[in-house]
Amino acid sequence: MEPFEQSALELTAMLDRKQISVVEVMQATLARIDAVNGSVNAIVSLRDHDSLMAEAAKADAAPRRGPLHGVPMAIKDLADAKGLPTSMGSPIHAGQIATSDALMVARLRAAGAIIIGKTNTPEFGLGSHTFNPVHGVTRNPYDLSRSAGGSSGGAAVALSTRMLALADGSDMMGSLRNPAAWNNIYGLRPSWGLVPSSTSGDSFLHQLSTLGPMARSPCDIAALLEVQAGSDPRVPHGRCESGFMPDLDVDLTGKRIGWLGDWGGAYPMEPGILELCQDALHTLSDLGAEVEELAPPFEAAQLWESWTQLRSWSLLSDEVALYDDLETRKALKPAMIWEIEHGLSLSALQVHAASVIRSEWFRKAASMFAVYDALILPSAQVWPFPADWIHPEQVNGVATDTYHRWMEVVIPVSLIGLPALNIPVGFGSGGLPMGLQIFGARGSDKALLEMGQAWHRATNWPNARPPDMGFV
């Protein structure tokens, strides 16, 4: 079996036993990228082959640095990796070379990973569709005319097509879940604070976005999370949980899982999504879980009001300087301008009121997790749409009033910083993949991975139906 077909844990075990060299892994990785990436455009800013091969040879000659020693990784193009451009998909930042590593990237390097380039993302990570004026569109390997999702779309496609064994991502509004669902892989949005994001700027007020791992199995997710997670003394609100490895094999007998469906009709779904997800519930029941359909636990309109205000307030704080400069404003995508202007319209009392709603939902969710081990929603409301769209303008006949309304199903998790794991649940009649987001109380990350691993043993969707790129 080729190295790129191995799981990350299989690959690291082979490297540790000297069954394969880092040079051989790098050769196979670059050959795979050469063969695949031209069709999907998932990996960008790839380092030159000679320098990567030289780094691989050095890794072979050096003592094992850590659990990812010799594993090629590409970083989502929102995070700094020293020596590589951080474009964020924006012409404003195109060509700017990072002079240091972001905290998470530094942890990957310390664990022995070899950073080969970046993965594509929407401009500033906005919108769950990976396209931008710097690197172009990333395409879905199950149908090249379709979107790969986002904002971790490049990472998801690189995993699905076996260009990478592990990938980092980030998630504010489904960006680790939606592209995982649309590419038949796993993506974990960790409990907020488990993976610290930044050691600069504000680190107290904004709790909507988080970094996290993506992979083709929950065990590989856990292996990467072990490296990414852990508090940093410079970052407040950190969580110190560890021990996500090695054993995720548990019996689901007696686990209580609540199915929230379309939130009582509040979240329109394209035909076939709910039916496919409901079929997946039968598999969970067969594994011993007790699955119960639940009524909506909170008013969807209130969640949306809180989310849109707190999200705009957060994005405003990050990017208002680009808006204030009339020249850079011209280069901002309309979605960013909408977010900033919405944020500027908010009063302090409106922001406070939005956070009160968030607090009420957190308390309600906590009461539910006193009864249920996990809750489940679909990971997306639409199937992968045409890649030349900016965003869907309607969902099953219901018009979308913002650029991101079609992803409303992810905000119950994002709004209160809960952990959520996308599990692939199969394919619709059009041959496109979909997923479920299983979520739990803060700190239940390992429990979700255990449920995901039981699901993976029973279904193994990423390996049962990999994308056919026409040359395998």
Active site residues: 76, 151, 175
Task: Using DSSP bridges, classify how beta strands 72-76 and 136-137 pair: parallel, antiparallel or unpaired.
Answer: unpaired
Are 183 and 384 within 8 A, CB to CB? no
- Cα–Cα–Cα angle for 4, 98, 183, rounded to 5 degrees: 35
Number of H helices, E strands in the chain: 15, 17
Q: Report residue 296 as tokens.
A: 């909506």
Whose tokens are 């029973």? That residue is 458
Which of 307, 324, 333 has the alpha carbon at shortest distance from 414?
307
Q: What distance, in Å, lies between the first and last C-alpha atoms of the chain?
A: 12
Q: Where are the alpha helices (DSSP H) in 245-369?
A: 273-286, 300-324, 326-329, 334-344, 348-369
Instruction: List, in sequence order, every residue forming a beta bridge with 259; answer none if it has no partner.
Output: 293, 376
Three-state DSSP class for 26? Answer: helix
Instruction: Report the residue count for the chain.
Output: 472
- What is the C-alpha separation between 466 and 16, in angstroms, rounded? 27
- What is the C-alpha separation between 421 and 216, in angstroms, rounded? 12
**Would you call the peptide bond into 151 cis, given omega within 30 degrees of 0 as the criterion?**
yes
144 CB-contact burial (10 Å; exposed 0-12 / middle 13-18 / buried 19+): middle
